[in-house]
Each structure stands twice: as structure tokens, then as C-alpha cells.
Amino acid sequence: MKFLTRLLIVFFFFICVSNLFPQKATTWTNGKVSVQVLNGKVTVNYDGKKLVTVSSINFNFSPPKTMSIADKTPEKLVLALSYPASASFNDLKEDLKSNIEITVTNGAVRFTCDSKWQSSTTIQLEDGGEHFFGVLESLYPNNIKSPDLRGGVVDVEVNGDNTLYHENYASAWSAFFMTNKGYASFFDTFAYGKYKLGINGKTELFHHTGKLDWYIIPGKDGDDILAKYYGIIGKPKSVPMWACGPVAWRDQNDGGAKEILDDIQKMTDLKIPFTGWFVDRPYSNGADEWSKMDFNDKFSNPKEWIATINDKYGMQFMSWVGPMTFMDKDFPGLLPNFRGYIDLTVPEAIKVFGERLKTNQYSFNVRGHKMDRGDEQFPQMSPWADRTPEAERRSKYIYLYSKTIDSFLHDSFKDDNFNFARAAIHRCQPYLSAIWGGDSRSTWDGMAGSLANAIRTGFMGFPIWGSDVGGYLGGRISEELYARWLQLGTWSGLFEIKLDNAGGRGDDRPPWKYSKKLQYIFREYCSLRMELQPFIFSLANTSYKNGVLMKPLAYVFPNDKNTYGIWDEYLLGRTFLVAPILDSTNTRKVYLPSGTWLDLYDQSKSFTGNQTITAKMPLEEIPVFVKTNSIYLTCQIVEGNSKIWNEAVSKEKTLNIHLFPGKTGESFSFDYVDNTHSNKEKPLVISTASNQIQFTSPALSINAKLICRLEKQPSAVMLNGKKAECEWNMANNILLVSIAKNQPCKLTMIIN
């Protein structure tokens, strides 16, 4: 009897559902996108492949009662949904109506809806076995370093107050994640969210907003996905060449401007090159030695000493900024909070903020900022002038902070400026040059945690990341840790080095306080970074189409399940695989994904991918592998302080183009950004056929030397249809060919 009763219940439930949702599938297509609606579920396909099924879109925590097709045109599909009257939180009797419009925008499938009665949105997805990457930089939960968030529950909101789970105080978030299933998700809102990822057969995306603006972004890998993503949020901010070199600073300059100049001179005496320097707070007058945003007596005559940094040492200078005045109330538009946060929706406040920086800093050629404190002890409950809802304030403030500072810098210096921040949220990318990974501990685990933060940041689509080399929270560190962190910094998007303790307590980090060996390593890696300038610069300024600089392995190889949990290695561009050593053993395991990989230090050593190897390196070297069928560039474009001791840098420069041909049928294109030709993007292309290798490039504004590694000496080398003058290095199997500037190049190497 019980069995029959249950059977009848199931039968009547089926009849009810049949009347609520159409049983006949409706399919809508737009280019490669197809959307199928059946039984209240929406399945999104791309190029014939299923991406994801949306099982329900709930408003105010209520699922829809009915769903039907309201409109279907080549441009859009409109779903009509009804919700119970109780979902309005008012005493209504009739069902509530909402229309969800589905369109294709910038190659992504977009769901939009904004009915007035809606106050929260929950999207439920069927579990397709996805692995999820992105959302947050911090190692949540429990400081787990793996970037794979499957099975996790994560908050989506910039929140610097909640540091319990935030290894290294990392503070970047995004309502964006990638999967290994050929798609990413982006909910375009600043409202607080909570994501439950692959739990109990479903994924749930909640945001405290009734405005649905959600994208499913298809793509074969991370680069492909981000190219579409940047088409939605805007191109990442351009980066100047000088910011691609080494940068240094102290947490506190008790000796004022003199100490900064002394540090730079001591680096110069040691022949350690730099292109940038910055001053951290305190350095100003006013509350907490900041609120006046000028230079105090310790830093008097800024025009003179900053000009010395610029002219004598060939370096650019930056400063610390914060969006608050602390206890100083002499400022318009302050939120009611003891830190004196500036309401960035008050025009008069923005005007005064900008005028102070322009008068007190930009007029002396301060070219950029370390942006701090936008996420700490934030007065979320304080209402804003523009009535931004409380649920949006934490994250939106960080966005406005980036946008505001970028506007100040751009007004004074156009694109020749640089700003980097600890806190970030989606849509900051067009206004923020880089992220630094927070106040890391000065330990091996602090360094390891920083690298794990970098991997998560890459999945979120922030192109440039760097750490405080040596760590922030601690004093003097061992030479082994210092050397390894310098190596990580060199091979990061942003290379900045901290020279003292947290709070400036002590003089423990400058290289002259260490051995000659550490000074040698310091010099070598800063010099290497100087040589990598055109490579880093080109990657940074084409990230809008070529993705982040430090690419996680699962981002590049989403079909390789061995990569999903890897947090301690990455690709820099598409050329280098970098595997920093994170302890004092000088040994580590390295997973090599598909392809052929060459040891950077001994290119006669070749490794086939899809295997794990053991790398043992002396302290002077870091495991770095070069992928065949790739290109990289070296040239010291910006001289920095090296112009003082290095006569060669003053001569006409030569761009070294390093070529690594692939297998027959393979080709590779690198987008070189020509900084002396209006930053024009110029494709450098290498391709391999059965008996020849060909390299082509448009005319470059700089002399170039091709350095091509081959299996054997070519029988003939032709340049633009004529026999080329070339040199063959038999010891290293390297072909050298010079290319004159302002001439297109077509180089053919015949291999018999």
C-alpha cells in the first residue's frame, strides 16, 4: 500500500511539472552558441559541445513556478518565469513575473534580468564534474595551496578585515572562475556573494542583488577565455617599460630622502641594476604622516632629490597612497569612520584628492603608487553619497579606488605611469597595473603561500602579480631563502624587493649586509630581469588577447588532470616553465606538461612532457624550462642606474630574438610590442616544415639578432630571398643572424 501511495505521489508530481515547464525542447542558436530549454532547465552549448546546464535561477531564494518562451529572435531568447507571491517579502497574492533575456556578447552567453521585486539571486548549475579555479587569491579554506576549489564554499567580497584564513593577507577577489570544461563564469556585480562549487550534485552561485547580469564564457584554455572576458570588462591597463625592471623599497625610511639616495648609490656601487624605487608611508605631513599627501621635512626639496633619481640614476620614483586621512577631518566627503575613509562617490572629495597628489607629488615627477589600505577596517555600514547598497560597498570601493588613482595618474602622465595594489576585484584590470600578494611572512612557507596566491590570481584574470621579495612580516632572512625569493621575483610579472623589517624596525635586508655570494646572486637576477624587459613588456601590453603573464598549468592545459592541483609552478608567457625551489634542499619535483622542454641552463638537455622529473639546482639557479616551438626576447631597453657603470648600454641597442623551432607542422607567434614605434604590436612568427624552418617579422625599429637553436647546422640560410650572412655556433647548435632595423624579415633555414 505504501508503495502504491508513493507511486501515485510521483505520478501526480510529474503531471504537475509537465504543466509548469514545456516538455518539448526549444533550441536557440547564435553563431557557435546554442541554448536548449527543456523541463525548466537551460543547457548552454558551444560549437556542438555541452558546457553547462542551469537547473534553476532563484530570486529571493525562491525557485520559479513556471517557465515559458516569451520571445525568440536571432539576437535573443527571452524566458518568462513566474515566482510565488511570497518571494516578494510583501503581502501579495498574485505570482511575481520576471523575464530573463539570453544574448551573446563578446563571444559569451549573457543572462540578464532586473525586476524591481528581486533582491537576491541564486543560480543553480548541474554538477558536470567541473574543477573550479579563481574567485579569490587567499588560500581559503585552511591555507590549502591547491587552486582547485571543487567541493569548496567561498565568499565573494573584498574583505581585508577577515584575515584569519587569508595567508599572506592576500586580498584580491572576483566573481569570476574558470573550469576545466571549456567555460568560465562571471557574475557582473559588486554585491557580496557566496559560491558552493560542486557539492552534492550541484554548483550554487549566490549574490546579494536582484540584478542578474551573468556570463558563461566559452574558451579552449585560459588565454582564449580571458580574451573574451576582457572584451566585457575592458582591456587591462598598459604598463611602461621602466616598470618591467627591478624595483626596491623600505617599509620605513627613517633617514628620509637621504636614506633613499644612499640605498640607490650603494646598489650602484655593487652594480645591482634597478629601474624603479618607491617610498612607503610614513613620508607626509598630517595624520599618520600621510593625510596632507605631501613630503615632510625628512623628504624636503622633493623636486631636487627625485630629479637626482630620474636624471643621475635613470630610474622612476613612486609613492605609497591610501584612500583615507586617518584622524584628519580637514577633507571633504569623509565617511563616518575613525580611519577617515574618503567617499569616492563625492566629486569634491575626488577633486581635492587629485589636486593634493598633483600639486604635492606629480609636479615632482612621482610616476606611480603602491595603493594600500582600501580593504582594512572598511566602514561598510556608512552610507555613500550615491546610495550604493551596503552589500556592494566593500568590493565597489576597491574598484573606485583603482579607477580614481588611475585617472589622477593618467591625467598627468598619460600611459607612462604604474600603480599596484594589494586589494582588487573584477573590473579593476583596466585601472590597475599590478597586484602585489599582500603582507607575506618572511619564511619558506610565506614564500610558498605567495606563489600559491599568484596562481589563484592568474585564474582570476589579473595579468600582473608580484610579491614582496624577502617577505613582509619578519626581519633578517637566510641567504638561501633570499636567493630563492629573488629568483621567484625575477620570473614574476612584478619584481619588487623589500630591504628592511616590517615597520622599518632594523636594517636587515640590504644586500650589503650579506655575503659576497648573496650579492652576486642579487646582481645576477636583477641583471637578468633587466634583460627580460622587452619580453615582460610585450606580454604585459598584449595581455588583453594573450592572457596573464604567470599562467597556471591548468589554465594552459585544462584537459590534463595532473595539473589541477599544481600551485608551485607556472608558465611565464607561452615560453618558460618556471618551478621555484621553496625550501633549503635545492631539490624539487617538477611536472612537465605536454610538449618538449629544454633546460634553460643546458639546452642540450631535452625532456618529453607528461612526466614528473626531479630537478636539483645549486643556489645560483632556479628550475626553468624552455618550450620548443616558442620565442622569447632579451635586451636592456631601459638602463636605470646601470648606465653609470655599463658603457655598452649607452650604445645603440640590439634586440635578441631567441627562437626554438618545433616539430614539423608546428608554428608559434609572439606579439612584440615595439616601444620606440608607438608601441605597435608586431608578430614574430616561427614555423617548421619537413625540410625548412622559417621566421618572419615586420620591420622593427631596433636592430635585432636572431639566436636560433637547431638540431643541426642548416645547409642554406636565406634572408629576404638572398643568402644570409650568418654564424654557426657548433658547440651549442646555435645559428646567429643579424637583422637591420626598419626592414621586414623573412628568414628561411634549409634543413636536409
pLDDT in tens, 463-484: 999 999 999 988 899 999 999 9
C-alpha pair distances (Å), 417 with each of 228, 243, 357, 672: 26, 8, 14, 20
Grid coordinates given for 664: 614539423
CATH superfamily of 21-233: glycosyl hydrolase (family 31) (2.60.40.1760)
Where do the CATH 3.20.20.80 domains begin and end in the chain?
243-546
What is the total residue count of the chain? 752
Could you give the CA distance from residue 299 to residue 283 in angstroms, rounded to a whole number?
Answer: 7
Report the pLDDT averaged over residues 274-292.
97
- For residue 324, the 8-state DSSP code is B
Q: Does the pLDDT of residue 337 top 90, yes or no?
A: no
Grid coordinates given for 37: 530549454
Report the pLDDT averaged over residues 168-188.
96
What pLDDT digit, counting tens, does each position of 508-518 carry?
Answer: 899 999 999 99
* pLDDT score of 18: 47
The percentage of residues in the chain with a pLDDT greater than 90, rounded to a whole number, is 90
Other C-beta atoms within 10 Å of 84: how many?
15
Per-residue confidence band for 22, with pLDDT thresholds at 50, 70 and 90: low
Helix ranges restricted to H, 313-346: none
* pLDDT score of 504: 67
What pLDDT digit, counting tens, does each position of 610-663 carry?
Answer: 999 999 999 999 999 999 999 999 999 999 999 999 876 657 899 999 999 999
Could you give the CA distance from residue 12 to residue 627 in angstroms, rounded to a whole number?
Answer: 61
- More confident call, 61 vs 15: 61
Mean pLDDT in the chain?
94
Strand ranges (E), 152-299: 153-156, 171-179, 183-187, 193-199, 202-207, 212-218, 247-249, 276-279
Look at phi and psi of residue 504 and say left if phi exceeds 0, alpha if psi is from -120 to 50, else beta. left
Phi/psi of residue 720, nearest 5 degrees: 55, 40
Report the pLDDT averaged over residues 25-52.
97
* pLDDT score of 649: 60
* pLDDT score of 8: 45
Q: Does the pLDDT of residue 256 top 80, yes or no?
A: yes
Q: Which fold has domain 652-750?
A: Immunoglobulin-like (2.60.40)
* pLDDT score of 521: 98
Could you give the CA distance from residue 218 to residue 130 in angstroms, rounded to a whole number?
Answer: 14
Where do the CATH 2.60.40.1180 domains begin and end in the chain?
652-750
Look at phi and psi of residue 238 and say left if phi exceeds 0, alpha if psi is from -120 to 50, else beta. beta
In three-state secondary structure terms, 265 is helix
What CATH code would you report for 243-546?
A: 3.20.20.80
Report the pLDDT averaged over residues 279-307.
97
* pLDDT score of 46: 98
Report the pLDDT averaged over residues 589-615.
97
* pLDDT score of 405: 98
* pLDDT score of 506: 66
* pLDDT score of 2: 52
Identify the helix (H) or strand (E) that includes residue 8.
helix 2-20
The percentage of residues in the chain with a pLDDT greater than 70, rounded to a whole number, is 95
Other C-beta atoms within 10 Å of 99: how many?
14
Report the pLDDT averaged over residues 87-92.
78
Q: Which residues, including other chains, have CB under 8 Å from residue 441's CB and lie 6 or more apart?
A: 168, 449, 471, 472, 473, 474
| 412-448: b (≥16 Cβ within 10 Å) or e | bbeebbbbbbbbbbbbbbbbbbbbbbbbbbbebbbbb
Nearest Cα to Cα of residue 716 among 727, 724, 704: 724
Q: Does the pLDDT of residue 89 top 80, yes or no?
A: no
What pLDDT digit, counting tens, does each position of 412-449 carry?
Answer: 999 999 999 999 999 999 999 999 999 999 999 999 99
Lowest-pLDDT range of 156-160, 335-339, 621-625: 335-339
Per-residue confidence band for 16, with pLDDT thresholds at 50, 70 and 90: very low
Where do the CATH 2.60.40.1760 domains begin and end in the chain?
21-233
Report the pLDDT averaged over residues 582-589.
98
Cα first-last separation, the chain: 84
What pLDDT digit, counting tens, does each position of 519-560 carry?
Answer: 999 999 999 999 999 999 999 999 999 999 999 999 999 999
